[in-house]
Amino acid sequence: AQTVTQSQPEMSVQEAETVTLSCTYDTSESDYYLFWYKQPPSRQMILVIRQEAYKQQNATENRFSVNFQKAAKSFSLKISDSQLGDAAMYFCAYRGGPTSGTYKYIFGTGTRLKVLA
Amino acid sequence: EPEVTQTPSHQVTQMGQEVILRCVPISNHLYFYWYRQILGQKVEFLVSFYNNEISEKSEIFDDQFSVERPDGSNFTLKIRSTKLEDSAMYFCASERSVAKNIQYFGAGTRLSVL
């Protein structure tokens, strides 16, 4: 079964600095999708960024980028120029590919990010 | 921007009572999901629903749980006889097409079982 591990329960970053959140996963599939979701205090789950495993290029969305290392099964999130509004719980999630027969997300335990003014 | 709407935001119930959690998915979406998050723990998949039937369910989703799309817009999760351990945040998600691979989540319903 697939698993997702986030080894950092909590991280802190100074405003305007860069922080990297770690995520590793385990799967025997070659095609799959990876996501980072943000959960602010409002508890709404907001998609931050998405990566398709068959794409070698790392996804980027403005200040957010990923370092996707398929062989190492690693999917870290880099937040540049951190802002106070980035403070939230960040969840890494995995989803099987088209041949997996499942569309559910498998989430990690989350990393709480604090942004210091 | 369209969003997934969940009601109520907080539901308090007595152990053994039935509760219905409601969700209005994004209107042109076809795939629907329920997840739950026990306080301080990770988000766990409960069930997925497509074409008016359950397409997948987890071992958590036992006979106490049921889902329904009664009127083409609402998507409900019913817990027949709540237990203390059902206390959690319940998230509804919807998806236009599994080819897009992006689920949109509601803000959740906090269920407190006393």
Mean pLDDT, all residues of chain A: 94
Half-sphere exposure of A63 (CA within 13 A, CB side): 13
pLDDT of residue B73: 85
Contact A109 B56 (CB under 8 A): no
Residue A45: is its pLDDT beyond 80?
A: yes
Provide the 8-state DSSP code for A105: -
Give Cα B106 distance to the centre of its chain. 9
Burial class (CB in 10 A: 0-12, 13-18, 19+), B71: exposed
**Per-residue model confidence as pLDDT tens digits over A92-114:** 999 988 888 888 999 999 999 99
pLDDT of residue A43: 81
Contact A105 B48 (CB under 8 A): no
Average pLDDT over residues A51-72: 94
Q: Is the minimum CB–CB distance between A44 and chain B shorter than 8 Å? A: yes
Contact A43 B56 (CB under 8 A): no
Q: Which of A25-29, A62-66, A69-73, B99-103 has the lowest mean pLDDT?
A: B99-103
Q: Is the minimum CB–CB distance between B51 and chain A shorter than 8 Å? A: no
Q: What is the residue type of A54? A: Y
Backbone angles phi, psi at A97, to 5 degrees: -80, -175
The pLDDT tens digits along chain B (114 residues) read 778 999 999 999 999 999 999 999 999 899 999 999 998 888 999 999 999 999 999 999 999 999 999 887 899 999 999 999 999 999 999 999 877 778 999 999 999 999
Q: Are B3 and B26 in contact (CB under 8 A)?
A: yes
Quickly tell me which residue has 């799309």 as its tokens: B69
Q: Could you say which of A33, A43, A50 has the minimum Cβ distance to residue B107?
A: A43
pLDDT of residue A85: 95
Q: What is the residue type of B19? A: V
pLDDT of residue B7: 94
pLDDT of residue B66: 97
List the single best residue of B101, B110, B111 to mutate versus A (max A Cβ within 10 A): B101
Contact A43 B89 (CB under 8 A): yes
Chain B hits for A109, CB-CB cut-off 8 Å, are: 41-42
Q: Is the minimum CB–CB distance between B31 and chain A shorter than 8 Å? A: yes
Q: What percent of chain A is predicted at pLDDT more than 70? A: 100
